[in-house]
Amino acid sequence: MGALPKKKISKRRRGNRRAHSAINSRQMSRCDNCNSLLPSHRTCPVCGHYRSKEIYEMDQPKVKFR
């Protein structure tokens, strides 16, 4: 047997520990070129620009939005 907890952690204690572990929504910013809302550090899915430089043209198949 591996290491086991000595005592059961109560619901209150477990909840208190998890109080800070919620996932926050992504940091959003505006595109320099078309002013649309997008997650920061990502190429714009609307116009294909990143930091006012064109990365890909929009008639090409779109790079998957991540």
By the criterion CB under 5 A, which residues form the site for Zn ion? 31, 33-34, 44, 46-47, 49
Residue 10 parent element (H or E): none
Least distance from C-beta 61 to Zn ion, angstroms?
A: 17
Minimum CB distance to Zn ion, residue 49 (Å): 5
Give min distance, CB of 30 to Zn ion, in A: 9
Helices of type H across 1-66: 11-17
40 CB-near residues (< 8 Å, 6+ apart): 26, 27, 28, 29
Closer of 33 and 42 to Zn ion (Cβ): 33
